[in-house]
Amino acid sequence: MNYLLGIDLGTSSLKTIVLSRDGKILSSDAIDYRFDSPVQGYAEQDPQVWWHACLNTVINAVRKANISAGDITAIGFSGQMHGVVILDKDYQVIRPAILHCDARSGEQVEQVNNLFSLPDRQRLFRNPVYPGFMLTSLLWIRDNEPENFERIAHVCSPKDYIRFQLTGVFSSEYSDASATLLFDIEKNCWSDEIISRVGLPRGIFPECTEPTEIVGKVTAEAAALTGLKAGTMAASGGGDLTMMSVGSGMVRNGDAIINIGTSGQVSFQIDRPVINPALNTNMFSAYHSDRWILYGATMSAGLCLKWWREIAGNPSYDAIHEAVSKTGPGSGGILFYPYLNGERCPHLMSDISSSFIGVNASTGFAEMTRSVMEGVVFNLRQCAGICEKLGFSAETYLAAGGAARSEDWTQIMADIFNKPVKRIIGEEQACLGAALSAGVGAGFWNSLPEAVDDVVRYQDRIITPITQNAAIYEEYYQLYRDIFPLYSESLRKLTNLGRRGTGSDGTCAVR
């Protein structure tokens, strides 16, 4: 029994890999899905969509690996963070999960901010209070769906639901729990002070463990559905940012990542909890109880390019590369602000939207496309700047997420940050991190640093800044920072007008 499974439950897909004992990914499988948005600003998913995707990807990944499912030693998990799954006393789903990118709970954010003073928020939360986090989503359910709230007996994060379905064991772990706004991040336990002050029942929250701890075994029922062997061990795993960091080998103090997936982050591994007085960054528990991750998170990163491609008629990535390579730094004088779903960092604004600045008669597809990519990276550089002011910086960054596969995007990262950027060999870092966590729990390795030293490898070529490009981007970056405050309030008003429709009574005036 020398194989591991890594399962990553994302916002837009669920992926499963099979990892051999010597660290080779033998196979992978993925199923895409979309989140539901029944009202503008809402983001929900039916947990059964995740479960069915899990069943099918596990079956397919094992088949592709051409191994016996009985030779799989352990399973690890990674998942989208902040969202909430609510279950009744029989562990049945009550309503669709509310996701991290959901914007409905603005009133509940105000409630929490009024209930806790700024010093209390700095001390207790260590993070901004924002829509889409478990705390504010639960308060929204209490205020707007009281009949559903009364039925709640258990709550969990998305990936914890999948693990529960496989093992019948209901639990969580430090990294995901710390991303709920209901957790004591320094002591690694649920915060009785927060929970009691907001008036939530303490008993609905699961027990938490280390991410590498084996917490359950595959049940006979799940084995019949997946083809796995009953009794296969399952580790806690972690939130996707933590597992992606592990799978990228970024587990030591000072390691830093630029991640561009659907959303984006600039993250730093740190060995002590920190307080950001401005509360415009995030800090969560990491892969071990004595490690934390500090990061600035932008809501829309790779999503911006996906959105733009759909508008442009879904050109191929080869066509995008050809267009971008013909356009110089600055995209002919265009700036793009990547706020498709509101923003968390560098601007804590849930009611903000994207915009292009500088479009003119000579602007074409190439310029618009490159400006989208540049705008995402400008925003992430701002996020990194905030972390640097808190005392954390890096000489080299690791590119992660889908953008790491793009020569254009990684060069833009190096030029805008004016720092070298390295890339990992292989893909599916969150899945890999999940599998390595299971491997540590199963005794394959003694620790995650030992596991990543054994398994993770980087490409020989490091992307270095092009001096001329970096100088040009420095001017654009200063403009990017200076322009936004001049019109941000007007843009917020425009966003809110669009959300409530054009009629004075809040109904749509179009017939």
Catalytic residues: 240
CA pair distance 358, 74, nearest whole angstrom:
53
Q: What is the DSSP string of 373-412?
A: HHHHHHHHHHHHHHHHHTT---SSEEEESGGGG-HHHHHH
Determine how many CB atoms are found less than 10 A away from the CB of residue 71. 14
Whether 72 contacts 84, CB under 8 Å: no
Q: Which of 103, 191, 433 is nearest to 293 (CA)?
A: 433
Burial class (CB in 10 A: 0-12, 13-18, 19+), 282: buried
Spatial distance between the Cα atoms of 257 and 269, rounded to a whole number of angstroms: 9
Cα–Cα dist 152/236, whole Å:
23
Residue 91: closest CA among 229, 236, 221: 221
| Alpha-carbon distance values, 43 to 10, 119, 165, 320 (Å) | 13, 31, 23, 29
Cα distance between residue 405 and residue 427, in whole Å: 9
Q: Cβ of 495: how many Cβ atoms within 10 Å?
A: 18
Task: Please report how the helices 429-441 and 240-247 are oriented relative to each other, as an axis angle in degrees rounded to 10.
Answer: 80
Q: What does the DSSP 8-state code read for residue 8?
A: E
Cα four-point dihedral sign 165, 167, 168, 169: negative
Q: Which of 118, 108, 128, 115 is nearest to 193 (CA)?
A: 115
